[in-house]
Structure 1
Amino acid sequence: MASLCAGRALGLAGQGLTGSHASSRGLPAKPLVSRSPILAKTPPCIRNRDLQQALGISVPHRRRSEVCVRAASEEESSPPAGLVGEDAAAFDVSQQSTKSWAIFTGLLTGVLGLIYLVWIQPGAGLADDFLSTVESFSNNNPEATILLILFVFAVAHSGLAALRPKGEQLIGARAFRVIFALVSLPLAIVAVVYFINHRYDGIPLWDLRGVTGVHELVWTLNFISFYFLYPSTFNILEVAAVDEPKLHMWETGIMRITRHPQMVGQAIWCAAHTLWIGNSFMLVTSAGLMAHHLFGCWHGDKRLSNKYGEAFEIVKTRTSTFPMQAVWEGRQKLPADFYKEFLRAPYFAVTAFTLGAYYAHPIMQSASFYLGW
């Protein structure tokens, strides 16, 4: 019965009536059904006794409406079973446009070329000047330098994310995404290249690289970490602003395990690399990365709450930051065919990318050494 009568109708101020009864009695003509995105699909149920009498509703009808109210209250005490957020990593080939992907390829080529000329190019790019400035503040200490690089990236990345709602209102979603990418991507490149070049600097603390099984363990952990990529990164056309970027609220796939998969993936990656490298530079790098991602947990929840309100609160009650916590507490019910939420094209692409990144390590190291950062 609750599913038939879950509306937040006339007893709440601001959710009034619509139709002839309202207009004939001088009541404001407002929608009968709540505007809440969670409740908008359910029929209304009247629960204000005085208003029912004023409208001439009979006692039997009034009693039925009171039952509706009690049932609705009971239903509101537990999250609805259906999805409130979006299905993550869904990919339909029939919905893809050759034109969109051609534009994406052209934009990617152009942006990377521009970044190389303006930012990366040895002796001419601005990255050399940026890094020199950072090193002047850190007194050329590798640990302090990587922390400053990560701090600048975090401020720019999270700061622009916080400004996104107002920025999109001023210049549009696509233009703001372009600015976001042109700021975040160059700073990320500096962080990655500096890390590769200085990963064995600092004070040695342990060396387990010769221990049997350690390489296999590190490889496996690193491989798994990439499956915790934030689902929005799968929307590549949105990332490149070919499609209009949106702030999505995902609820399936990896989100059932943790509401902040990128943080968990970063933690796994840091654990693997710290185990393998075992020095002070790696420890400091991992601490800086995790500090930013832990802040991102709070910041991401805040942004989703501001945008989706009640809907996000429902998603929050049945997901968790700590992996699997919502599952063992009974707040998240994994479907019997849960594994199918990972048998999707984006995850096959992640698998190929992860293997490619591993085998491309020598190329990445050579390119980083060439830049000399």
Structure 2
Amino acid sequence: MSSPIFSHWLPALAPYRSHAIMLGMILGFACAHSGLAYLRPWGEAWLGARLYRLFFVLVSLSLAPLLLIYFSNHCYDGVILWNLQAVPGIHTAVVLLSGLSFFFLYPATFNLLEIAAIRKPELHLFTTGIIRLTRHPQLVGQVIWCAAHALWIGSSFMVATSLGLIAYHLFAVWHGDYRLERKYGQAFRDLKARTSVIPGLAILQGRQQLHPREFLRWAYLGVLSFVGILYAFHSQLVSAASKVAW
């Protein structure tokens, strides 16, 4: 027999069930993604660098769409904490911030041949370009993405999702630094001393200088094209996700 107190609160918690599911999915993705990254030295020794990379990408690409579909179908769940959609200029701000977030989430696009295992995958110690601005651009990009979508959506589900994603990326900051230090030792510690996680902090403190020419890369044109395509087909993607009944 269930507790009377539990039975009383259960209906009130029902609208937040999707929040817990989303956080659980983020945790599952984090365990798979970071866990496989941690096991990379052993996995590559066992399977080889290329085959392990394909396995890693297959797992990530299998889980990521599930999160995106569930997020799209439940993003307005829970309580609407704010609604700024009618505020002049808010839509433009959200679009620009969302686009900007992908320029920080770019690093994988610089090594497409390694991702596809055509070229032997390596754990790189990047020292130029956006690394001069922030040592962990993916964290910065995720924070910007969450801020942009929270401005537009304003639901408790969006807040819970944002907190979960940012918490995972904060862990990834520590985990990424740990893996790079394990591989590169003093070379990474030297890089860490002249870079920062907070965007621009190392530049303001005089530990780093920005070189605009380092951003003149074809990969950025690829990111720009991807952002344009994503914006053009955003409504179709949301519509397609809504056809998945969960």
TM-score normalised per structure 2: 0.92
RMSD between aligned residues: 1.4
CA deviations over 1:216-269 (Å, ceiling 9, x no partner): 111111111111024233211111111111101101111000000000000000
Deviations along 1:45-65, whole A, 9 cap, x unmatched? xxxxxxxxxxxxxxxxxxxxx
Alpha-carbon offset, residue 173 of structure 1: 0.5
Aligned twin of 1:175: 51
1:259 aligned to 2:132?
A: no
Quote the Cα distance in structure 1 between the aligned partners of 2:108 and 2:236.
Answer: 28
Q: 1:358 matched to which residue of 2? A: 231
Query: Does 2:183 match 1:307?
Result: yes
Alignment of 1:239 onto 2:115: yes
Q: What is the CA–CA distance in structure 1 between the aligned matches of 2:93 and 2:159, rounded to whole Å?
A: 19
1:49-107 CA-to-partner distances (Å, cap 9, x unmatched) read xxxxxxxxxxxxxxxxxxxxxxxxxxxxxxxxxxxxxxxxxxxxxxxxxxxxxxxxxxx
1:230 touches 1:260 (CA, 8 Å); kept in 2? no
1:132-173 CA distances to partner (integer Å, 9 max, x unpaired)? xxxxxx978110110011110000000000000111111111
Output the CA distance in 1 between the equivalents of 2:238 and 2:196: 37
Superposition misfits of 4+ residues, deviation over 4 angstroms? none
Q: How does 1:2-17 map to 2 (within 5 A)?
A: none
2:209 to 316, 327, 333: 333
Higher helix proportion (structure 1 or 2): 2
Residue 21 of structure 2, aligned match among 142, 145, 149: 145
User: Any idea what the Cα deviations from partners look like across 1:315-351, whole Å, max 9, x if unmatched?
Assistant: 11111011111101111023xxx22211210001100
**Normalising by structure 1, what TM-score?**
0.61
Q: Is 1:281 aligned to residue 157 of structure 2?
A: yes
Aligned to 2:229, the other structure's residue is in SS state helix
> Contact conserved, 2:19 with 2:157, CA < 8 A, in 1?
yes
Contact 1:225 1:265 (C-alpha < 8 Å) held by counterparts: yes
2:62 maps to 1:189: no
Alpha carbons 1:203, 1:280 under 8 Å: kept = yes
Whole-Å Cα distance in 2 between the matches of residues 212 and 341 of structure 1?
36
Q: Distance in 1 between matches of 2:106 and 2:194?
A: 18
Map 1:31-50 to 2 at 5 A.
none
Counterpart code for 1:372: A
CA contact (8 A) 2:102 2:223 kept: yes
How many residues end up aligned between the 2 structures? 233
Kindly provide the amino acid, as one letter, of the partner of residue 231 in structure 1.
P
- 1:156 pairs, out of 21, 32, 35, with 32
Say if 1:207 and 1:278, in contact at 8 Å, map to a contact too: yes
Mark the runs of 5 or more structure 2 residues left unpaired by the alignment. Answer: 1-12
Within the candidate set 213, 218, 237, 1:345 is matched to 218
1:24-57 per-residue CA deviation (whole Å, 9 max, x = no partner) reads: xxxxxxxxxxxxxxxxxxxxxxxxxxxxxxxxxx
Take 1:255 and 1:333, find their aligned partners in 2: how far apart are those partners? 11
Counterpart amino acid of 1:196? S
Aligned to 2:95: 219
SS at match of 1:272: helix
Local SS of the residue matching 2:198: coil
Q: Kindly indicate whether the alpha-carbon contact (under 8 Å) linking 2:25 and 2:67 is maintained by their aligned counterparts in 1.
A: yes
Distance in 1, matches of 2:108 and 2:89, equals: 34
Higher relative contact order (CA 8 A, sep 6+): 2
